[in-house]
Structure 1
Amino acid sequence: MPSFGIATAPMQVHYHDILRVWREADTIPEIEHAWLFDHLMPIGGDPAGPAYEGWTLLSALAAQTRRLRLGLLVTSNRFRPPAMLAKIATTVDIVSGGRLDFGIGAGSRPSHPLARREYEAHGLPFHDSAYAVGSLAEACTVIRRLWTEPEPFDFQGEYVQLTGAFGNPKPVQRPHPPIIIGGRSAAVLRVTAEHADLWNIPGGDIEDVVQRNALLDRYCTEIGRDPASVTRSIHLAVAYDQPGGTKDAISQAIDAGFQHLVLGLPAPYPADVAQWVADELIAASISR
């Protein structure tokens, strides 16, 4: 049985609008998870419009909900040093009572100018793709160790260097929150095969999605991992005025083996939008 969630991009919208949707979704069992993204400036609409910092907002929403699993699709590993990110994620897991799904990725692709500008605007370095992927692999290693190891440790990697690293407190979830890696490049898929519990890809081109899915299967097999141990997740855009297209995309994704479906809700959010998602999109997909 597939699991369904919603995503509310925290840009061009007010905090209270997102809170309204999450609180409603928290009361609807058919919606099992909810997501934000991780951008510091808008990547759509008015470039000077509002955008909220993802982890801060996620912690606030975690305190205002009781049931939903929650996370960011996905954290940019370029924004925060991994040991700091591990501490932030642990805090959210504790605030939520153990409901965090930890999403992480290599960061925005260089070809996306609206995403690229946020690094320069915040004084953050934007390294090349090889650096981004290599540092992602080391970050996943370090974060997992900080969540699980009972003693301080040193880490001397190519991209990450830590002395006396130690995570206290530990996350609520044991051995650690599920790790969901987002991306589609072959290099990121190799990191996914090694480190992820779930893999997420944006929908849209189902043929490309299927090819990337098969590539992940291959990389898992090459390192001796059962491909079925990585849950397949997909983000699908919702069109309120054309639900048939969204239903078709959901059906194609499920037929392709994706069991974790995230429905992206565009703002402004209609009244009772979470119930509409459950009635119009999820119920129809479950009853196929």
Structure 2
Amino acid sequence: MTRTPRPRFGIMTAQSQVSYDDIVTLWREADAIPEIEHAWLFDHLLPIFGDRDGPIFEGWTLLSALAAQTDRLRLGLLVTSNRFRPPAMLAKIATTVDIVANGRLDFGIGAGSRPSLPIARREYQAHGLPYDNFADSMGALDEALTVIRRLWTADEPFDFDGNHIHLAGAFGNPKPVQRPCPPIVTGGRSARLLRITAKHADVWNIPGGDIEDAKSRSALLDRYCDELGRDPGSIVRSMHIPVSYDQPEATRDAIGQAIEAGFEHLVLGLSDPYRGGVARWVADELIAKPA
């Protein structure tokens, strides 16, 4: 299908190897720049780049602090690991952030770190967290999204007895500011993730770098939507694009390719250290200038 997207740009600041003040300063700067519409953290508990023993902040706690110190940016984690927190607890955490943000949360979630990334798997062992196999992680994500949406919307307590999640008398109060619930953003590229996306999500994100693969995955998502009787155009296509400070023309080219492929929600990943005025630089050099 043909799309004529209006690009919506945001930034991502992975909260590793940086200070709290670094991130607060950058997010406050971005909050004052209308061209930047959304901002993201990631969800890891140990560094996956740089010093393996370097500093890293827990994502949802930091997101709540940033929600309280910004006024306009939509915000979220790209994306939450469903393996880190029980889904009912995660629903409560996300509700709290949406209330602190006065309805600006985009709820990003995925199955969790890829088995092919051993440096990420170590964070599960270090925190006593189980690391399920791929099939189990996808089944758990499907159930988690069912439960989380129900906690956000149900008017009465309910029980849930799934293959992965078992709840008795579950109830969410208060509800999120956004009704019926915050937009759900899934992240990943596997066929099973795309099926879950077609069933549950409002936005789908994929890492940039291979535009042909991204286009084929987007077409597969269209097919799964058709099978479910859902309009494929109801799911916004999102891409994470790493930013090169030294070669902005390469980043602009990647942005242009993503837009041409129908990706209208673009997340510009900023590496540390953050240069002074980097949010303004992103707006002027990457968003305002054509590829």
User: Given the two structures, how large is their TM-score scaled by the length of structure 2?
Assistant: 0.98
Q: After superposition, what is the alpha-carbon deviation per residue over 1:21-50, rounded to whole angstroms, capped at 9, x for unaligned?
A: 000000000000000000000011111111
Distance in 2 between residues matched to 1:112 and 1:219, nearest whole Å: 27
Q: Is 2:73 aligned against 1:68?
A: yes
Any residues of structure 2 matched to 1:48-127 within 5 Å, and which? 48-127=53-132
SS of equivalent to 2:289: helix
Q: How does 1:33-44 map to 2 (within 5 A)?
A: 33-44=38-49
1:160 aligned partner: 165
Match of 2:149 among 105, 120, 144: 144
Q: Which residue of 2 aligns with 1:254?
A: 259
Q: C-alpha separation between the residues in 1 aligned to 2:223 and 2:36?
A: 31
Q: What is the letter of the counterpart of residue 262 of structure 2?
A: G
Match of 1:20 among 17, 25, 33: 25
Q: CA RMSD in A?
A: 0.6
Structure 2 counterpart SS, 1:251? helix
What's the CA shift string for 1:197-253, capped at 9, x where partnerless?
000000011111111111111111111111000000000000000001100000000
Total equivalences in the alignment: 286
Cα distance in structure 2, aligned partners of 1:50 and 1:201: 26
Write the distance in 2 (CA, Å) between the matches of 1:244 and 1:269.
Answer: 19
Unmatched 5+ residue regions in structure 1? none
- Where 1:124 maps in the other structure, the secondary structure is coil
Give the letter aligned to residue 273 of structure 1.
Answer: V
1:215 alignment partner, SS class? helix
Match of 1:31 in 2: 36
**Aligned mates of 2:140, 2:257 — CA distance in 1:** 34
Measure the CA separation in 2 of the matches of 1:116 and 1:244.
Answer: 34
Runs of 4+ displaced beyond 6 Å: none
Residue of 179, 192, 195 corresponding to 2:197: 192
1:51 aligned counterpart, secondary structure: coil
What is the identity, as a one-letter code, of the residue corresponding to 1:244? E
Percent of residue pairs bearing the same amino acid type: 73
Aligned to 2:3: none
Q: Secondary structure at the match of 1:116?
A: helix
Secondary structure of the residue aligned to 1:133 is helix
* Uncovered stretches (5+) of structure 2, i.e. residues with no partner: 1-5
Q: Please report the TM-score for the alignment, with normalisation by the length of structure 1.
A: 0.99
Give, in whole Å, the separation in 2 of the partners of 1:14 and 1:219. 42
Provide the C-alpha distance between the structure 2 equivalents of 1:75 and 1:162, rounded to a whole number of angstroms: 21
Deviation (angstroms), 1:167: 0.1
Q: Using the alignment, how far apart are the partners of 2:73 and 2:46 within structure 1?
A: 26
**How far apart, in 1, do the equivalents of 2:116 and 2:52 lie?**
17
* 1:128 matched to 2:133: yes
Which residue matches 2:217?
212
Candidates 178, 201, 206, aligned match of 1:173: 178
2: CA distance, partners of 1:207 / 1:237: 17
Where 1:284 maps in the other structure, the secondary structure is coil
1:265 to partner: Cα distance: 0.3
Partner amino acid for 2:220? Answer: L
Aligned counterparts of 1:84 and 1:284: Cα–Cα separation in 2: 43
Q: Which residue of 1 aligns with 2:289?
A: 284
Distance of 1:242 and 1:17 partners within structure 2: 23
- Matched position secondary structure for 2:288: helix
- In 2, distance between residues paired with 1:200 and 1:111? 19
